[in-house]
Amino acid sequence: MRTRVAIIGAGPAGPLLSHMLHLAGIDSVVLETRDRAYVEARQRAGVVEHGAAELLQRVGLGERMEREGIVHSGIELRFSGHSHRVDFTDLCGRTVRIWAQTEIVKDLVARRQADGGQILFGAQATAIEDAKGDRPKVHFVRKGSHQVLECDYVAACDGFHGIGRRSLPRQAVRTFDRLHPFSWLGVLADVAPSSDELIYARHERGFALHSLRSEHVSRLYLQVPNDTDPAQWSDERIWDELSERMALPGWELKQGPIIDKSLTPMRSFVTEPMSHGRLYLAGDTAHIVPPTGAKGLNLALNDVSLPAQAFIALYTHGDHEPLQEYSNTALRRVWRAEHFSAWMTHLLHTFEDAFENRLQHDHLEFLASSRAASTQLAENYTGIPHL
């Protein structure tokens, strides 16, 4: 089997790259270890920033998002019984969209299949051979048989636990890693959202987030200790804790059946550089952010738009430079998102340290009173263009 670009992983990053290459007439094959139903149902992100929404529209994948997604022009911060709205439109002229990652993946997979693209589900990449040579190969196992995909380039979009990052020689990379001392217990609930906008709440019992998936489905998160077993959290306990952490006079959290429950560790992680020879890393395989800043999906989409343009420059104009510059260009946006995500995480979660908690409170008061401080949050949350 042979293709120009071998892509590992069909999260949002891999199929978007394959689609963008297809628009320029460049052939690719996507290998995905899971089946189609699994990747289309995996509950994850829900916020699409301004530039990422524009990117999806530009490549013809924005139609359902435009029709069914919800435009949000601000978020609410809750702390010490106060509420402060950060008005994105007023502060920086941009908005975000509530549009689930599951829907983006569904549209991408359907579009690749309609265009005759190859996404091989149930195909687990096991090794990347000769990334430094002219003819790299990806070894994979499908239906019990070992196969080889020969290619010009490999794009590893295989998430944090994939083989892409681990295929870079240890001496060629530097990694930056921080595991935060808490996790998120996330639930999906069959109940109309209790607020029109996202609520980020800091409470002495811990952080809580109110998000949504549609007019009928709410998505909520609670800060919990790292070793939490979601099975120990009954639906009643979850609703009680959410209500207490988000409490505001005159406001009530609507409750309903919980249809999904999961635990997400909070990690910050970056690999430098994001390429080695003919192997390019994109998305969660190269970097992880804690979800407080809603940046992971957006970084993954932005990452792949760079190699897509770089492969197009190479195959259509023989221009190697954008591909050579990929890692440096991508890392600028990655580090901005890392800083913002760590900062939001720090601002809103409860720590053991009393001094730290007192500083957070002061910072939240400052955000609520300073337009400049709120503007930097709005700029980063909606996504800084041209970074």
- Site membership for ligand PHB, residue 47 (CB under 6 A): yes
310-337: buried (b, 16+ CB within 10 Å) or exposed (e) per residue? bbbbbbeeeeeebbeebbebbbebbebb
Residue 291 sits in the site that holds ligand PHB (CB under 6 A): yes
**Is 47 a binder of ligand RFL (CB under 6 A)?**
yes
Instruction: Work out whether 158 is an interface residue with ligand RFL (CB under 6 A).
Output: yes
Tell me: does residue 34 bind ligand RFL (CB under 6 A).
yes
Neighbours of 18 (CB within 10 A): 29
Is 106 tagged catalytic? Answer: no
CB 50 within 8 A of CB 58: no
Q: Is 381 a catalytic residue?
A: yes
Nearest distance in Å: CB 1, ligand RFL: 15
DSSP single-letter state for residue 178: E
Question: If binding is defined by CB under 6 A, does position 31 make contact with ligand RFL?
Answer: yes
Q: Could you tell which of ligand PHB, ligand RFL, none binds residue 292, using a CB distance below 5 to 8 A set by kind?
A: ligand PHB
Task: State yes or no: residue 11 binds ligand RFL (CB under 6 A).
Answer: yes
Q: 3-state secondary structure string, 78-104?
A: EECCEEEEEEHHHHHCCCEEECCHHHH
Which amino acid would we find at residue 116?
G
Is the distance from CB of 22 to CB of 28 less than 8 angstroms?
Answer: yes
Give the chain's radius of gyration (CA, Å): 21
Residue 290 CB, shortest distance to ligand PHB, in Å, is: 9
Sole binder of ligand RFL in the list 203, 213, 295, 333 (CB under 6 A)? 295
Q: Which does 111 bind (CB under 5 to 8 A by kind): ligand PHB, ligand RFL, none?
A: none
- Please report how close the Cβ of residue 350 comes to ligand PHB at its closest, in angstroms: 17
Closest approach of ligand RFL to the CB of residue 305, in Å: 13
Q: Which does 219 bind (CB under 5 to 8 A by kind): ligand RFL, ligand PHB, none?
A: ligand PHB
Phi/psi zone of residue 217: left (φ > 0), alpha (ψ -120 to 50 degrees), beta?
beta
Decide: is 128 part of the binding site for ligand RFL (CB under 6 A).
no
165 binds, among ligand RFL, ligand PHB, none (CB under 5 to 8 A by kind): none
Q: Does 46 bind ligand PHB (CB under 6 A)?
A: yes
Backbone angle region of 189, left / alpha / beta, with phi > 0 → left and psi within -120 to 50 → alpha = beta
Rounded to the nearest angstrom, the gap between the alpha carbon of residue 255 and the centroid of all alpha carbons in its chain is 27
Under rule CB under 6 A, which residues in 178-217 are in contact with ligand PHB? 198, 211
The catalytically annotated residue of 153, 200, 221, 326 is 200
Burial class (CB in 10 A: 0-12, 13-18, 19+), 32: buried
Report the nearest approach of ligand RFL to the CB of residue 45 (Å): 3
The C-alpha torsion from 335 through 338 and 341 to 343, rounded to 10°, is -80
Which amino acid type is present at position 152?
A: D
Q: CA-to-CA distance for 178 and 290, rounded, in angstroms?
A: 10
Region of 52-60, 271-279, 290-298, 352-360 interacting with ligand PHB (CB under 6 A): 290-298
Chain positions contacting ligand RFL, by CB under 6 A: 8-13, 31-34, 39, 44-47, 101, 124-125, 157-159, 162-163, 186, 264, 283-284, 291, 294-298, 300
Interface residues toward ligand PHB, by CB under 6 A:
45-47, 198, 211, 219, 291-292, 294
